Amino acid sequence: MKILVCISNVPDTTSKINFTADNKEFDKNGVQYVINPWDEYALTRAIELKEAKGGTVTVLNVGEADAEPNIRKALAIGADDAIRVNAKPVDAFFVAQQIAAVAKEGNYDMILMGKESIDYNGSQVHGMVGELLGIPSVVPAFKLDMLDDSTARLEREIEGGKEVVEVKLPFVASAQQPMSEPRIPNMRGIMTARTKPLAVKEPVGAEAKAEYVGYSKPEKKGGVKMIDPENAGELITLLRNEAKVL
């Protein structure tokens, strides 16, 4: 079984976020990048399936060279090899087309990724990949098991409960907790990751469908006003005229 796991290179949630002077680009200066946490659930589950059933796990990233330390981390966690499509991930459709091209060429049985990336929270790529390849897409799944060599069972949340889905290979799935418990690479994994294959491919011709015209930070929170508990009228006035929630 060949499993392709797609990972994104995203800013650490503890990083201080800034934009360029014209507010059109994210300012990377001083920002620590990590593997997208949702993708780690997919990666760990893929490795668990490989350990239980055999096969290979390939990590795929659509990104520039600065993503390679985190690609190596994924190899240290247990992936067998990696591919980096040498392109800036300009929008979801562009990324999905790159993933679909790699998946089609490699003839993978299963394509896994996180339910969304924590930078844009778009939750679009997995569905697009499934559509481009003409295969089922199950999203977002919190449990994934193989029933036999050709059939998987997944569980996903729906309003008011859960849905159990059985699907034939190949398919696309996005992961969320508690699909697996993300692993920390050990020293042996870190050492072996240095020699594992990391292929760099040029992107296929694809046009972005969206353009980000500007970024802005949330407005700063205003000061707290203390209202006398006996003065309900003042509270109502402030909620109506200042907070505008009434």
pLDDT class of 191 with cuts at 50, 70, 90:
very high
- In percent, how much of the chain has pLDDT > 90? 71
Contact present, 105 and 4 (Cβ < 8 Å)? no
Say if CB 55 and CB 1 are below 8 A apart: yes
Q: Which of 57, 43, 37, 124 has its CA nearest to residue 89? A: 124
pLDDT tens digits, 145-185: 999 999 999 999 898 899 999 999 999 999 999 999 999 99
Domain boundary assignment for the chain = 2-219
Neighbouring C-beta atoms of residue 71, cutoff 10 Å: 24
Question: Phi, psi (5° rounding) for residue 84?
Answer: -120, 120
* pLDDT at site 121: 86
Question: What is residue 246's predicted lDDT score, i.e. its pLDDT?
Answer: 80
Q: To 10 degrees, the CA torsion angle through 152, 157, 159, 165?
A: 0
Other beta carbons less than 10 A from residue 201's beta carbon: 16
CA 139/CA 206 separation, integer angstroms: 25
pLDDT of amino acid 58 = 98
Whole-angstrom distance, CA of residue 142 vs CA of residue 156: 6
In sequence order, what are the residues at sequence separation of 6 or more whose Cβ sits closer than 8 angstroms to the Cβ of residue 230? Answer: none
CATH 3.40.50.620, applies to 2-219: yes
pLDDT for 242 equals 82
Position 71 scores a pLDDT of: 97
23-32, 70-79, 91-100, 127-136: which has the minimum mean pLDDT? Answer: 23-32
pLDDT band for position 192 (cuts 50, 70, 90)? very high
Express each pLDDT in 83-120 by its tens digit. 999 999 989 999 999 999 999 999 999 999 999 998 88
Q: What is the mean pLDDT of the chain?
A: 92
pLDDT tens digits, 10-40? 999 888 888 887 888 888 888 999 999 999 9
**Whether the predicted pLDDT of 144 surpasses 80:** yes
